[in-house]
C-alpha cells in the first residue's frame, strides 16, 4: 500500500488520504487556476508538482523524490510558467550580485565571479538561500535526502520540488481562513481583496484585524521601503517599549529588499489577500530578501540562550579585571569567641596561682595501674640498671615532666642507675632536662653524688621501628657510645647488659600512642620477666590501658599525665611538680566543661535557626 509522509508532522498516511490523520494538515495541495496564480519557484514549464512519497520499506537514497503524478483539486492543470516576481528576482541577483566587488579586482578571484552565474543557473545560490530557511520538517521527512541541502548542481531541480511542497503551509494557512468563517470564500467569489472594501464597519474592521496574522497586519499597503521612509521622515517613530527595544537585534543584517520595478500597483486577485495592491509576495522570497553575500551572522537564538550568552560574556570579561582581595574582616565573630575562650581559660588557670591555693583534697582512690607501678619501683635495688626511654616531644614537657619526675624522683631515692635513651631526635636533650628537673624535686643530691655518675645518656636510636628492634636485640651494637661520644658500656653497672632483658626495669615515657605501641611490639617479646612501665600523656592513656588489662599483661604499670603523677605522689608521700599544677589543672578542666556546654549550646541554637530558615548548618558560627 502506498504511503505518504505528512509534510507537517512527518507521520505516514495512506496515499488516498486528503488530510493527515494525525495533524489534519492537507496532504494534497489545492489546485489553483494556473493563469491567475504565479508558478512555484524553481519549477520549469511543463514540470508537474511533485509530492514526496516513499515506497514503504524501501528507502532509496537516489530517487527518494518520486513524481507521483499530478494531483490537482478540481482538475486544474499544474502550474507551469515561472512567476514574474521570480524572474525579476533572478535578474536582480544577476545584475547586482555579480557586479564585481573590490575583492573581484583580485585576478585569482575573477574566474570565481564568472562561475557564480553558472552556479546560480544550477540553483546553487538558491541552495544557500534555502539553507538558511527553517525547512526542518521538509528535510526531516526525506530519509534518503542528505542531511543538508545538496551542493551538487544536478540536484537543483529537487530543490524546486522541495520549495513547491514547502509552500503547502501557505495554502494550508489559506484553507484555514476559508474554513474559519466562510468569509474568505465570499472574498474569493467577489474577486475583491478582503481588505479592499474599506467601508466595513469599525467592529468588523477590528474582527478583521484580529483574524489577520500579526506579521501580515504589520505589512501595511505599499512596499516596506515606503514604510521605512515614513518611519524616518513622516510619522514620528513610535516609542518602542524598552524591553522590546532591548530585544531588537543589535546588528541586523542589511537585508536589501530590492523590489522589482512596477510591482507596487499590482492588485492581488485571489486568496485571503485578494484585492490588496502591491502586496509583498507571500512566497518564500520575502524571507529570502536579498542577503548580503556573507552568510547571516544572526543565529536563531531563544531568549534564554541569549541571556545565558550574555552572562557567559560577562563572566569572561570579569576574568580580565583584577578584583582586589576582600579586605579581611578585622574582628569576626569567630575571633571574638576565640579570644573569650582564651581569656576564660587563662583566668581559670591563674586564679589558683595568685590566690596561692594548694591542693585541698587528693583524688580519693589511687588507680590500680599507678599503685602497681609504685610497688614495682619500690622493689628496685640500689645500682640496678633501669632503662628509661624518653619518647615525648619538648612541647609535652608540661605534662610528662610532671609525671616522669615523680617516678624518677622515686628511682633516685632507691639509688637506681638510670640509662636514658630515645628514638626521637630531640629525645637526648629532653632526657638530660628531665633528670635535672627530677633531681630538684626532692631533698636529694642524685647527680652531684661523689661516686661515679649515677646515670648515662645513650642518645638517639635512629631508624624508627627497625632501630628499636636492633636496640632491643643488641643495645651495645645499636648505641656503642653515649651522647657525648664516650664509650658507654664500660661502666661497671653496664658491663653485664647484653640485651634489653638484662635491665631491671624498663620505663617508656611518651605522649604518642604509636611510639608507645612500637616499644611494646618490638621489645615486649624479648623482655621476658623484666617489668615494663608506661608514663604516658592523658591523650594516649585510653589506648595503652588495654595492654595493662590484657592477659598476659604486656604492661605492668601506667602513670598517666598530671592526675597520674598526683596519685603517684600520694603513694610515696612526696609532692612533685604535679601538686603545683593540680589546682590550676582542676579549674582548667571545670572551665573547659562549662565553655563546651555554653558554646556548644549557643552554636546548636544557631544551627537550629539556620536549618529553620532553610540554610544548611555549617554556615556562620559563633
Partner 1 sequence: MSLFDLGAADLIGGLLGLAVTLVVFSHFIGDNAVFRLVLHIFIGMSAGYIAVVVAYNVLWPKLLRPVLEAEGWELLWVGLPLFFSLLLFARLFPRYSILGSPVLAFVVGVGAAAAVGGAVVGVLFPQVRATINLFDLDAIRQNQENVNLALVNGSIILVGTISSLAYFHFGVRGKAGSKTQRSTWMEWLAQVGQGFIVIAFGMIFAGIYAAALAALIERLSSITRFIYSLVAGF
Partner 2 sequence: MNAISLAGIIFLALFAGLIAYFARFKPGSSPSSLRDIPAFSRIRRGIGLAVEAGQQLHLALGHGGIADFKGGSGLVGLSLLERIARAASNSDRPPVATSGEASLAFLSQDTFKSVYRLMYSESQYDPEAGQLTGLTPFSYAAGAILVASDPQVSTNLFSGHFGSEIGLILDAAEQNDSLTSGGSDDLQAQAILYAAAQEPLVGEELYAAGAYLQVNPYHLASVRAQDIMRWVLAGGILVGAVLKAFGLI
Partner 3 sequence: MKSYPFVYLLAAIAIASGAAVLVGYFFPSLAGLKGEMLDWAVIFTAVLLLIGVISLVRTHWRKIMQDQKDRAYSLVLIFSFTLTLLVAAPSGPTSKWSMWLYENLLIPIESSLLGILAVFLLYASARLFNQRMNIYTLLFIGTVLLALLGWLTIPGVDLEGFKDARDWLSSVWAVAGVRGILLGVGLGTVATGLRILIGADRPYGG
Our measurement of the distance from residue 522's CA atom to the centroid of its chain's CA atoms, rounded to an integer in Å, reads 49
Angle at 374 between CA 369 and CA 379, to 5 degrees: 130
Of residues 319 through 378, those in contact with partner 2 by CB under 8 A are 325, 328, 334-335
Of residues 278 through 317, those in contact with partner 2 by CB under 8 A are none
CA distance 269 to 266: 9
Find, among 410, 332, 353, 384, the residue nearest to 570 by Cα.
410
**Is 463:470 a contact under the CB 8 Å cutoff?**
yes
Q: Which of 495, 551, 573, 614 binds partner 1 (CB under 8 A)?
A: 551
| Residues whose CB falls within 8 Å of the CB of residue 15, separated by 6 or more in sequence, listed in order | 1, 2, 3, 4, 53, 68
Q: Does 19 bind partner 1 (CB under 8 A)?
A: no
Find, among 13, 27, 23, 30, the residue nearest to 175 by Cα.
30
Which is nearer to partner 1, 466 or 605 (by Cβ)? 466
Which is nearer to partner 1, 58 or 328 (by Cβ)? 328
| Residues whose CB falls within 8 Å of the CB of residue 428, separated by 6 or more in sequence, listed in order | 420, 422, 457, 459, 460, 483
CA distance 334 to 88: 80
Q: Which of 73, 358, 462, 526 binds partner 3 (CB under 8 A)?
A: 462
Shortest CB 521 distance to partner 2, Å: 9
Instruction: Give, for 128, the enclosing helix (H) or strand (E).
Output: helix 124-131
Binding mask 447-476 for partner 1 (x = CB under 8 A): ------------xx-x-xxx----------
Q: Does 231 bind partner 3 (CB under 8 A)?
A: no
Residue 506's SS3 state is: strand
Q: Does 499 bind partner 3 (CB under 8 A)?
A: no
Q: Does 394 bind partner 3 (CB under 8 A)?
A: yes
Shortest CB 325 distance to partner 2, Å: 6
Q: Which stretch binds partner 1 (CB under 8 A): 97-105, 142-150, 206-214, 557-565?
A: 557-565
φ and ψ at residue 387, rounded to 5 degrees: -85, 125
Q: Does 213 bind partner 2 (CB under 8 A)?
A: no
Q: Does 397 bind partner 3 (CB under 8 A)?
A: yes
CA distance 80 to 599: 93
User: Phi-psi region for residue 141, left (φ > 0), alpha (ψ -120 to 50) or beta?
Assistant: alpha
Which is nearer to partner 1, 91 or 375 (by Cβ)? 375
Q: Does 541 bind partner 3 (CB under 8 A)?
A: yes
Binding mask 380-419 for partner 2 (x = CB under 8 A): -------------xxx------------------------
Which is nearer to partner 1, 41 or 483 (by Cβ)? 483
Count Cβ atoms below 10 Å from residue 297 Cβ, excluding itself: 10
Q: How is 385-397 classified by DSSP, letter by letter?
A: EEEEEE---GGGI
Which is nearer to partner 3, 49 or 430 (by Cβ)? 430
Q: Does 518 bind partner 2 (CB under 8 A)?
A: yes
- Partner whose footprint covers residue 479, from partner 3, partner 2, partner 1, none (CB < 5 to 8 Å by kind): partner 1
Positions touching partner 2 (CB under 8 A) are 325, 328, 334-335, 393-395, 424-426, 463-467, 511-514, 518, 539-540, 543, 618
Amino acid at each position: 500500500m502506498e504511503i505518504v509522509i505528512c509534510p507537517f508532522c512527518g507521520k505516514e498516511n495512506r496515499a488516498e488520504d486528503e488530510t493527515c490523520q494525525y495533524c489534519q494538515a492537507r496532504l494534497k495541495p489545492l489546485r489553483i487556476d494556473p493563469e491567475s496564480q504565479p508558478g512555484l519557484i524553481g519549477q520549469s514549464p511543463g514540470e508537474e508538482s511533485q509530492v514526496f512519497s516513499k515506497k514503504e520499506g524501501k528507502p532509496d537514497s537516489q530517487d527518494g523524490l518520486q513524481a507521483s503524478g499530478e494531483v490537482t483539486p478540481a482538475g486544474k492543470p499544474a502550474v507551469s510558467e515561472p512567476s514574474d516576481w521570480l524572474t525579476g528576482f533572478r535578474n536582480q541577483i544577476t545584475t547586482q550580485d555579480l557586479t564585481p566587488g573590490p575583492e573581484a579586482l583580485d585576478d585569482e578571484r575573477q574566474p570565481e565571479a564568472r562561475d557564480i552565474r553558472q552556479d546560480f543557473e544550477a540553483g546553487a545560490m538558491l541552495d544557500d538561500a534555502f539553507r538558511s530557511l527553517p525547512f526542518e520538517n521538509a528535510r526531516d521527512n526525506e530519509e534518503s535526502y542528505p542531511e543538508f541541502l545538496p551542493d551538487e548542481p544536478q540536484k537543483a531541480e529537487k530543490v524546486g520540488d522541495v520549495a513547491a511542497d514547502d509552500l503547502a503551509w501557505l495554502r494550508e494557512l489559506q484553507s484555514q481562513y476559508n474554513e474559519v468563517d466562510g468569509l474568505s470564500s465570499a472574498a474569493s467569489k467577489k474577486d475583491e481583496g478582503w481588505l479592499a472594501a474599506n467601508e466595513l464597519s469599525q467592529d468588523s474592521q477590528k474582527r478583521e484585524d484580529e483574524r489577520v496574522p500579526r506579521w501580515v497586519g504589520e505589512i501595511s499597503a505599499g512596499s516596506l521601503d515606503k514604510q521605512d521612509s515614513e518611519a524616518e521622515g513622516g510619522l514620528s517613530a513610535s516609542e518602542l517599549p524598552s524591553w522590546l527595544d532591548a530585544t531588537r537585534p543589535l546588528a541586523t543584517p542589511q537585508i536589501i529588499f530590492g523590489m522589482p520595478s512596477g510591482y507596487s500597483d499590482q492588485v492581488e486577485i485571489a486568496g485571503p489577500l485578494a484585492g490588496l495592491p502591491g502586496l509583498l509576495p507571500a512566497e518564500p522570497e520575502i524571507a529570502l530578501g536579498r542577503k548580503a553575500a556573507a552568510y547571516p551572522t544572526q543565529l536563531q537564538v531563544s531568549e534564554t540562550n541569549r541571556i545565558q550568552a550574555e552572562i557567559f560574556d560577562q563572566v569572561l570579561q570579569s576574568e580580565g579585571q583584577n578584583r582586589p582581595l576582600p579586605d579581611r574582616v578585622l574582628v569576626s565573630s569567630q575571633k571574638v569567641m576565640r579570644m573569650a575562650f582564651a581569656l576564660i581559660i587563662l583566668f581559670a588557670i591563674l586564679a589558683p596561682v595568685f590566690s596561692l591555693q594548694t591542693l585541698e583534697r587528693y583524688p580519693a582512690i589511687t588507680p590500680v595501674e599507678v599503685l602497681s607501678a609504685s610497688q614495682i619501683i619500690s622493689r628496685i635495688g640500689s645500682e640496678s640498671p633501669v632503662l628509661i626511654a624518653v619518647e615525648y616531644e619538648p612541647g609535652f614537657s608540661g605534662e610528662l615532666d610532671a609525671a616522669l619526675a615523680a617516678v624518677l624522683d622515686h628511682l633516685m631515692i632507691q639509688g637506681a642507675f638510670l640509662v636514658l635513651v630515645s628514638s626521637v631526635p630531640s629525645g637526648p636533650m629532653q632526657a638530660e632536662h628531665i633528670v635535672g628537673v627530677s633531681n630538684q624535686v626532692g631533698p636529694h643530691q642524685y647527680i652531684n653524688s661523689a661516686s661515679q655518675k649515677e646515670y648515662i645518656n645513650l642518645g638517639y636510636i635512629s631508624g624508627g621501628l627497625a632501630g628499636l628492634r636492633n636496640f632491643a636485640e643488641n643495645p651495645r651494637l645499636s648505641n656503642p657510645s653515649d651522647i657525648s661520644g664516650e664509650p658507654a658500656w664500660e661502666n661497671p653497672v653496664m658491663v653485664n647488659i647484653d640485651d634489653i632483658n638484662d635491665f631491671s626495669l624498663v620505663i617508656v615515657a611518651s605522649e604518642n600512642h604509636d611510639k608507645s605501641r612500637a616499644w611494646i611490639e618490638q621489645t615486649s617479646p624479648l623482655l621476658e620477666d623484666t617489668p615494663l612501665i608506661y608514663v604516658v600523656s592523658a591523650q594516649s592513656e585510653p589506648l595503652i590501658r588495654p595492654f595493662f588489662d590484657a592477659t598476659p599483661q604486656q604492661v605492668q604499670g601506667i602513670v598517666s599525665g598530671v592526675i597520674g603523677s598526683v596519685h603517684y605522689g600520694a603513694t610515696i608521700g612526696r609532692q612533685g611538680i604535679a601538686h603545683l599544677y593540680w589546682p590550676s589543672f582542676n579549674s582548667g578542666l571545670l572551665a573547659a566543661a562549662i565553655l563546651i556546654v555554653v558554646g556548644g549550646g549557643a552554636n546548636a541554637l544557631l544551627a537550629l535557626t539556620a536549618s529553620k530558615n532553610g540554610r544548611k548548618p555549617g554556615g556562620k558560627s559563633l
